[in-house]
Chain A
Amino acid sequence: MTKKEILVLEDLLGSNKKIAADIRNQLSKKGILAVNLLSSPGAGKTMLLEKLSEVLKPDYKMAVIEGDIETERDAERIRAKGIPAWQIMTGGACHLEAKMIGRLFPDIPADLDFLFIENVGNLVCPASFDLGEHLRCVLLSTPEGDDKPKKYPKAFITSDSLIISKSDLVSILPFDIERVSKEALEMNPRLEIFVLSSLNGDGIKELSDYFIQALHKLRSDHA
């Protein structure tokens, strides 16, 4: 019997990264912009998608992948808006992985403009898994408190934009939008920040314009 030491140097997330890169590449070629929405449970991801669908639907084709531990509820809410939606039930897993998106790939229509992916409500684990998205957006709702970026750094560091949601409640909460924006920008200077309410519609147009712009950029980059 001989003992042997072997240098491996392999990334534990390597297989996820590879699948994600492949998904991103295929979506880019089709001209579909994929957006990964991250937040703690109940920050307003589904309601934002419901609201966005109203703004985007007249001119753009969108679809939604919903990630939840259990139930079809979120996908049903999206379908009720006339938007195609697939529900991934992770059965306990606290995050989506690229291979789960990959399995749905054959069903995704090639003529889409936007593919939104609502991750499992969790501000920690989903941040480690690239799903092949072009844009990662982290939602922070005003009732959660303005001290979150530093407490959950990875979600904020790895995102392209920060969406401060439920802005309609800010007048009755001790939530300082400037403080949270400053802290988040110090951690990640490339963050684009949006403040919005899916209840009264404030800020929804700005966010949808941002997605539309990103879609045009993606298409001109891959033309």
Chain B
Amino acid sequence: MHELSLITNLFDILEKQANDKNAKKIVHVKLQVGVLSGAVPELLESAFDIYKKDTIAREAAITIEKVPLKMDCKDCKAELISNDYILTCSQCGSSNLKTIAGTELILEKIELEI
């Protein structure tokens, strides 16, 4: 359960953003969470709801976009997409794969009231 620690980092970024923009409050937060990010979206949501009380984001809703794993096969150039870890290329069987997406853990955007 390291999601609480990730949410602590999120609030560091949120507070800085709100400050920079002179926002009254943050009303929406959107994250991108890859299936191989190591974080569980439902746990991030719970941690967010616990942490947000008494912060500038206390009324904020959170949306989490789950990013599937995307890999390129270096041998046959096929693009593979899955919600699981992919070991081999479904087209040619090669295990020579390169990860393109699916490990991210990103604050994509926020909505502020100014």
Contacts and interface: CB of A to CB of B under 8 A. Distances in A.
A3 B113 contact: yes
Contacts of A8: 13, 17, 107-110
A12 B10 contact: yes
B55 to A, nearest CB: 16
Interface string A1-27: 111111111111111100000000000
Contacts of B106: 9-12
A79 interface: no
Given A12-B105, A128-B38, A1 B24 contact: yes
A10 B111 CA distance: 15
Interface in A68-124: 93-95, 97, 124
B2 A154 contact: no
Given A4-B21, A9-B108, A95 B2 contact: yes
Size category of the B interface is 20 to 34
Interface in A126-169: 127-129, 150, 153-154, 157
Contacts of A7: 108-109
B36 interface: yes
Interface string A188-210: 01000000000000000000000
A176 interface: no
A94 B87 contact: no
B9 A15 contact: yes
Contact of A153 (B2, B85, B107): B85
A48 interface: no
A128 B87 contact: no
A54 interface: no
A6 B109 contact: yes
A4 B87 contact: no
Contacts of A11: 104-106
B109 A5 contact: yes
Contact of A12 (B9, B17, B21, B88): B9
B62 interface: no
Contacts of B1: 94, 125
B111 A125 contact: no
Contact of A10 (B13, B24, B85): B13
24 contacts: A1-B24, A1-B113, A5-B111, A7-B108, A8-B13, A8-B108, A9-B106, A10-B107, A11-B105, A12-B6, A12-B13, A12-B105, A12-B106, A93-B5, A95-B2, A97-B5, A125-B1, A127-B38, A128-B2, A128-B37, A128-B105, A154-B38, A157-B85, A189-B96
Counting from the closest, the 5 A-B pairs by CB-CB distance are A128-B38, A125-B2, A153-B85, A186-B87, A12-B105
